Amino acid sequence: MASQIGRASAIIMIWSLVDKALAIGKEMLTAHRFGVSASLDVFNVAYSFPSTVVMLFSAALGSAIVPLYLEWRNHSFLEADSHTTWLIYLTTLLFALLSLIFFVFSPEIIQMIGYGFNPEQKQLGIIMERVLILLTFIDGAGLLFRGILSAKKMFFHLYVAPIFVNITIIIFLVYDMGLNIYVLVWGFLIGTLLKSVYMGVALFREGFKFDTPLPFDPQIIKTFWLLAIPMLGSGLIANSNLMVDQVMATQLPAGSVSTLRYAFRINDFPIQVIILAISRGIFPFISEEAAAGNLDNLQRIFKYALILLGFLTIPATALMLLFSEDIVILLLKRGAFDLEAARQTGQALSCYSLGLFFYAYTFINGSFFAALKNTKALLYMGVVSIFLNVFFNYLFMYFWGAKGIALSTSATMGIISIWFISQLKRHLGITNLSQTFSSFTRIILAAAGMLGSGLVIIKLFELTLIPRLVFIPVATAAASSCYLGIIWVFRTAELDDCITVLTNMITMWKKGRFGTNEE
């Protein structure tokens, strides 16, 4: 199982890396063209509504279909494909109706989420919103495709599909065509359409039957929605906070919304490339283990997932704290994006990075609760997380502005994640996490050593005339070596196993074992 999970995660990781490298390129072109302008603030807020709606349903519907599809497939492939096709038809109709409703109420939506904008910005937002609402239908119609691809372990197609979005936006940004800020609007719409079509074609070519030989069964629909609706909570925790942050940042000076979005996207990069790959790679496996009642295997996967998350995200936080502004300057400082914008974005990035482990954990957490078909807690805590984030936003933005909003998100993620870990420990019947906490203590100490050595090295280099862009890679390599050295000296058996898993994944990358035959 460990080998299969490692292979699945590696496939996801490599294609996610390609996609996110393109995403960084897209952000660089966006920063060069629009900087942290008021029009970009309006686009980010207008886009946040349909994208958050889709991401909420994506977490719910995509996760709910996986254990159900696997259960139906145990009876017959015909039953699995027929039931799922009925669900595809119904969810497509649902998103068509939602899109129509949102189109009609676009002025009210912008008044609500862009309440801090001036009248001219609000009018621009209404026009954009009415076009971007089409994303709800286009992306929503393909949501179940993602779940089926995941259940079938067709990870290559699942993670190649999003590349179409970033490539399309990059083409629009490069060639412009006189669309100004609307290059982003049409880039997202056309790219998302290509993504959904690609996934549907991939499923068809792999033998999925898009027909309904079995009659419509209301009980199947009821079972699906009873499992899916509570999963909205997982989406609220992982995806709604950025929208909440951007909406509340409309009260701050122009450019604050864009500053937060740039910082969030950079902070999100290691999550999307590494952590999301691991969480989605293990999801069909833990679904199978849960269906078989193999509690011991679920306990082991949970413990190692926690350690692996800490091993990867805690040192990443240390690097972000050391080099946040340098990262922003390297990636974005060009054209309309000036040094002051880089400084503000770097501060927000540091604050977001403090919650990197907890943000990463929400993805792993949702996978376990979905596999166990115990999702009500996700819904309750999703609602609680919004209220917590709003409360901390009001408190922190008063003192620290945009970076206070970023810090609020980290605090919210920390509180929610600690509660979830304790709940999942109980649901899995884990009586003792002392060995896991022992490994965590070593990770934290190693990261502290990394941060301290990095600061010392930076101060020493600053005394010389060596350019900062030259010594930063050296300081990064030295600090990372310090972290790995401390881990190696004080490693536990569980850390040894995590290192072995990562080593095996790197070996697989070198061998190029990333074909389309995931089964």
- Answer yes or no: pTM beyond 0.85: no
| Token digits of residue 237 | 């925790």
Are residue 178 and residue 31 in the same domain, yes or no? Answer: yes
> In this structure, is residue 519 part of a structural domain?
no
128-148 residue pLDDT tens: 999 999 999 999 888 899 888
- How does 169-183 read in b/e, with b if 16+ C-beta sit within 10 Å? bbebbeeeeeeebbb
Return the higher-pLDDT residue of 272 and 310. Answer: 310
Are residue 335 and residue 436 in the same domain, yes or no? Answer: no
Are residue 189 and residue 316 in the same domain, yes or no? Answer: yes
The stretch 28-52 carries a mean pLDDT of 91
The total of structural domains in the chain comes to: 2
Residue that terminates a domain, selected from 373, 397, 431? 431
Q: What percent of the chain has pLDDT over 90?
A: 34
* pLDDT > 60? residue 518: no
Confidence at residue 515, expressed as pLDDT on a 0 to 100 scale: 45
Spatial distance between the Cα atoms of 53 and 512, rounded to a whole number of angstroms: 37
Are residue 253 and residue 264 in the same domain, yes or no? Answer: yes
Are residue 147 and residue 195 in the same domain, yes or no? Answer: yes
Confidence at residue 360, expressed as pLDDT on a 0 to 100 scale: 82
436-449 residue pLDDT tens: 888 889 999 999 99
Are residue 68 and residue 192 in the same domain, yes or no? Answer: yes
Confidence at residue 95, expressed as pLDDT on a 0 to 100 scale: 94
* pLDDT > 90? residue 225: no
> In this structure, is residue 100 part of a structural domain?
yes
- Per-residue confidence band for 502, with pLDDT thresholds at 50, 70 and 90: low
Confidence at residue 466, expressed as pLDDT on a 0 to 100 scale: 78
Confidence at residue 128, expressed as pLDDT on a 0 to 100 scale: 95
Spatial distance between the Cα atoms of 61 and 2, rounded to a whole number of angstroms: 27
Confidence at residue 92, expressed as pLDDT on a 0 to 100 scale: 93
Confidence at residue 235, expressed as pLDDT on a 0 to 100 scale: 60
- From 61-65, 313-317, 415-419, the region with the lowest mean pLDDT: 61-65
> In this structure, is residue 124 part of a structural domain?
yes
Give the 3-state secondary structure of residue 515: coil
Are residue 397 and residue 482 in the same domain, yes or no? Answer: no
* pLDDT > 50? residue 102: yes
* pLDDT > 60? residue 516: no
377-402 residue pLDDT tens: 777 777 788 889 899 999 999 889 99
> For every residue of 170-238, which 3-state class applies, written as one string?
HHHHHHCCCCCCHHHHHHHHHHHHHHHHHHHHHHHHCCCCCCCCCCCCHHHHHHHHHHHHHHHHHHHHH
- Phi and psi for 96 in degrees, rounded to 5? -65, -45
Residue that terminates a domain, selected from 389, 413, 431? 431
Confidence at residue 461, expressed as pLDDT on a 0 to 100 scale: 84
- Per-residue confidence band for 239, with pLDDT thresholds at 50, 70 and 90: low
| C-beta of residue 270 within 8 angstroms of C-beta of residue 316 | yes
- From 201-210, 276-285, 351-360, 483-492, the region with the lowest mean pLDDT: 276-285
The stretch 216-222 carries a mean pLDDT of 85
Q: In degrees, to the nearest 5, what angle opens at C-alpha 356 toward C-alphas 352 and 359?
A: 100
Name the region of 430 (left: φ>0; alpha: ψ -120 to 50; beta: rest). beta
Spatial distance between the Cα atoms of 60 and 49, rounded to a whole number of angstroms: 17
- From 42-56, 98-112, 479-493, 498-512, the region with the lowest mean pLDDT: 498-512
Output the average pLDDT for the chain.
Answer: 84
The stretch 234-263 carries a mean pLDDT of 81
Spatial distance between the Cα atoms of 114 and 43, rounded to a whole number of angstroms: 11
Q: Ranked by mean pLDDT, which of 173-182, 189-198, 205-214, 321-330 comes out on top?
A: 189-198
Confidence at residue 5, expressed as pLDDT on a 0 to 100 scale: 61
Are residue 120 and residue 202 in the same domain, yes or no? Answer: yes
- Per-residue confidence band for 513, with pLDDT thresholds at 50, 70 and 90: very low
> In this structure, is residue 417 part of a structural domain?
yes
12-24 residue pLDDT tens: 777 878 888 898 8
- Per-residue confidence band for 157, with pLDDT thresholds at 50, 70 and 90: confident
Give the structural domain span for 243.
Answer: 2-431
> In this structure, is residue 173 part of a structural domain?
yes
| Token digits of residue 231 | 């999963």
Are residue 354 and residue 484 in the same domain, yes or no? Answer: no
Are residue 414 and residue 466 in the same domain, yes or no? Answer: no
Are residue 215 and residue 339 in the same domain, yes or no? Answer: yes
Confidence at residue 75, expressed as pLDDT on a 0 to 100 scale: 82
> In this structure, is residue 161 part of a structural domain?
yes
- From 134-138, 300-304, 316-320, 417-421, the region with the lowest mean pLDDT: 300-304
185-206 residue pLDDT tens: 999 999 999 999 999 999 998 8
329-380 residue pLDDT tens: 988 988 889 889 999 999 999 999 999 899 888 877 777 877 776 667 777 7
> In this structure, is residue 63 part of a structural domain?
yes
Return the higher-pLDDT residue of 463 and 121. Answer: 121
| C-beta of residue 277 within 8 angstroms of C-beta of residue 5 | no
Are residue 278 and residue 288 in the same domain, yes or no? Answer: yes
The stretch 314-333 carries a mean pLDDT of 91
Confidence at residue 3, expressed as pLDDT on a 0 to 100 scale: 59
CB atoms within 10 A of CB 407: 24
Residue that terminates a domain, selected from 382, 412, 431? 431
Which of 70, 509, 63, 501 is CA-nearest to residue 301? Answer: 501
Confidence at residue 155, expressed as pLDDT on a 0 to 100 scale: 78
Confidence at residue 190, expressed as pLDDT on a 0 to 100 scale: 96
Confidence at residue 345, expressed as pLDDT on a 0 to 100 scale: 93
Q: Cα 297 vs. chain centroid, distance in angstroms?
A: 26
Spatial distance between the Cα atoms of 382 and 254, rounded to a whole number of angstroms: 29
